[in-house]
Amino acid sequence: MERLKDHPILDFERGEKVIFYFEGKPIEGYTNETIAAALHAAGIKVFSYSPKKKRPRGFFCAVGKCSSCLMVVDGRPNVRTCMEYVRPGIHVRRQRGLEKLKGTEE
């Protein structure tokens, strides 16, 4: 997809342009946008694969309620990427099912 340039009503305060990583690849994002919005702007729609049937999942509610956009951010699973903002240098990857929380490995 793309970022809107001209809008009849709105001016967007995107913040600072920074680089973060999606599955190891550098992605451009802005500090006032969520990870989900930045990925969407980069054309990335699949955020995770479901636990049982491994079906692709993406963004749905954008208010942190549906769990459809959970991803692994800097090694931490279950991050709601529609609520978490872009920070420079973070590593984001698709979550595959229910990944283990840090410190819970047996």
Partner 1 sequence: MSEKMEVQLAVVGGGPAGLAAALTASRLGIGVLLIDENKELGGQLIKQTHKFFGSHRHMASVRGIEIANRLKNDIKGDPNITVFIDTTAVGYYENGELLLYQKSPEEKLVSCFPKAVIFATGARENMLAFPGTDLPGVYGAGAVQTLMNVYGVLPARKILMVGSGNIGLIVSYQLLQAGTEVAAIVEILPRIGGYIVHASKVRRYGVPILTRHTIIEARGKEWVEEAVIARVGEDFKPVKGTERVLEVDAVCLAVGLSPIVELVRHAGVYTPYISELGGLVPWHDDDMRTNLPNVFVAGDLAGIEEATTAMLEGELAALSAAEYFEIKSDEIDGMRRDRKARLEELRASRFSEKVKKGLQKLVAKKPK
Binding-site ranges for partner 1 (CB under 8 A): 1-4, 7-10, 12, 14, 33-34, 37, 40-41, 45-47, 50, 55-66, 68, 82-83, 85
Sign, Cα dihedral of 99, 51, 58, 61: negative
| Closest CB 106 distance from partner 1, rounded Å | 26
Q: Select 5 or 100, whichever has its Cβ closest to partner 1.
A: 5
Pairing of strands 56-57, 76-80: unpaired
Q: Select 56 or 88, whichever has its Cβ closest to partner 1.
A: 56
Residues 14, 24, 58, 6, Cα dihedral to 10°: 30
Residue 10 and residue 45: Cα distance in Å, rounded?
25
| Closest CB 12 distance from partner 1, rounded Å | 4
| Closest CB 40 distance from partner 1, rounded Å | 5
